[in-house]
Copies of this chain bind each other. A is one copy, B any other.
Amino acid sequence: MVSSLRLGVAGLGTVGASLVRLVDRHGAELSARSGRTVEIVAVSARDRSRDRGVDVSRFAWFDDPIALAQSADIDVFVELIGGAEGAANAAVRAALEAGKHVVTANKALLAHHGAELAALAESRGVSLNFEAAAAGGIPIIKVLRESLAGNAVTRIYGILNGTCNYILTRMEREGLSFDACLADAQRLGYAEADPTFDVDGFDTAHKLSILTAIAFGTEIDAGAIYVEGIRSITTADIEAADELGYRIKLLGVATRSESGIEQRVHPTMLPKSSPIARVDGVTNAVAVEADFVGRLVLAGPGAGGDATASSVVSDIADIARGDVVGTFGRPASAMRPYQRATIQSHAGGYYLRLAVFDRPGALAAITTRMAEQGISLESIVQRRRAPKADAPDHPQPLEPQPVILITYDTTEAQVKAALERISTDGHIAEHPQMIRIEQLA
């Protein structure tokens, strides 16, 4: 008879409480599947007396997560504290050093310290599992680490932040501004009081860095990601995208190019026929393109206590079966150095929205500047704004008019150079809007 697998859970927030409920409901089945009894034996959190909707009094209590991590009474340390530094970091290291398996949902910790922690886990012969860290309930880590073992990945891209996707979906469906949708998301609990981490793309960047490391076998480098959030997106952009056959999503994209691995997080124009263009609301989705499998798409809940607990338990079940996988799908020593492809060398199509002063020759000057940079245009849309009620029938010559350009494939450097010259020429007001287009493979 194999001894039971004893779990110590640090952090009893939403995910921790869901994990306790899940093990209560499915523990027997989980044990039958794994061939080994799986049980929570100890927990740690800040406030022992808080009502969490589940009974945790039956578990040994630790005020100090590090003491729990080192306890001789546990086999697996489940870290649900969060944060790249502080208690989570110290406790995970302590657990690995003590030869405990670690399961974590902590994307920030992995993005910043993943390489070191992987080497530490490997040196102790234990697992460091983190299915919940990249896309909540979507099993993308297992698919990349295991299912795609026989593939070279060429591109991975996804909607990895439910807050941003909720906001963009509302803006599109209801024609509301970013600010109005953000306020609603905050009211509904889909966005934090300080939404920076989500709406400015950092959460997506953390998740992307983890996916990149596994997909391409390169050392994790969260600092090498080009990051741009969704605050600049207007309803004008969303409407123009719709008319041109696109939808706007905040994507994390990693792709192999000649100069290295390109990692970027930014609002993206996706053709409506793209397999993830219609993923709406808080749902997340990841598409992987690889040489043998072609294209796989996974969609599901990117957050939430129950969905996250489902992924945490998947990691625990792997440990119960005795399956030790390299943290990023391969031995830490086999991870290649990350070679960054700069955003300047990014090649692709671009959507540009310019506020052009309506005077003779302006459009000619703009298109000439594009041509000088070797940029070909797929479409130009110029529409006069409807005159305001108290304005004359025709807008004043100097009132800027929106002009939308879609380029064929070019590079970031060329687009930036063209826009700089167009700005200098004085034909446009405001900062031009530029959204990268992510085409189907």
Contacts and interface: CB of A to CB of B under 8 A. Distances in A.
Contact of A33 (B34, B291, B307, B326): B326
Interface in A64-81: none
Contact of A309 (B292, B299, B316): B292
Contact of A143 (B139, B295, B326): B139
Contacts of A137: 292-294, 296
Contacts of A300: 293-297
B323 A323 contact: yes
A72 B313 CA distance: 38
B331 A325 contact: no
B151 A310 contact: yes
Interface string A315-338: 011100111111001110010000
Contact of A301 (B26, B146, B294, B317): B294
A391 to B, nearest CB: 41
B139 A317 contact: no
A191 interface: no
A185 interface: no
A150 B293 contact: no
B292 A152 contact: no
Contact of A26 (B151, B306, B307, B329): B151
A288 B272 CA distance: 24
Interface in A116-167: 131, 137-139, 142-143, 146-152
Contact of A34 (B149, B292, B295, B314): B149
Contact of A297 (B30, B217, B299, B331): B299
9 contacts: A22-B150, A26-B292, A30-B150, A33-B326, A137-B292, A137-B294, A293-B307, A294-B301, A297-B299
Given A32-B334, A293-B300, 17 more contacts: A33-B330, A33-B334, A142-B142, A142-B147, A143-B143, A149-B313, A149-B314, A150-B309, A150-B312, A150-B313, A290-B310, A292-B306, A295-B300, A296-B300, A297-B299, A318-B323, A321-B323
The 5 closest A-B pairs by CB, nearest first: A150-B313, A139-B147, A323-B323, A149-B317, A293-B310
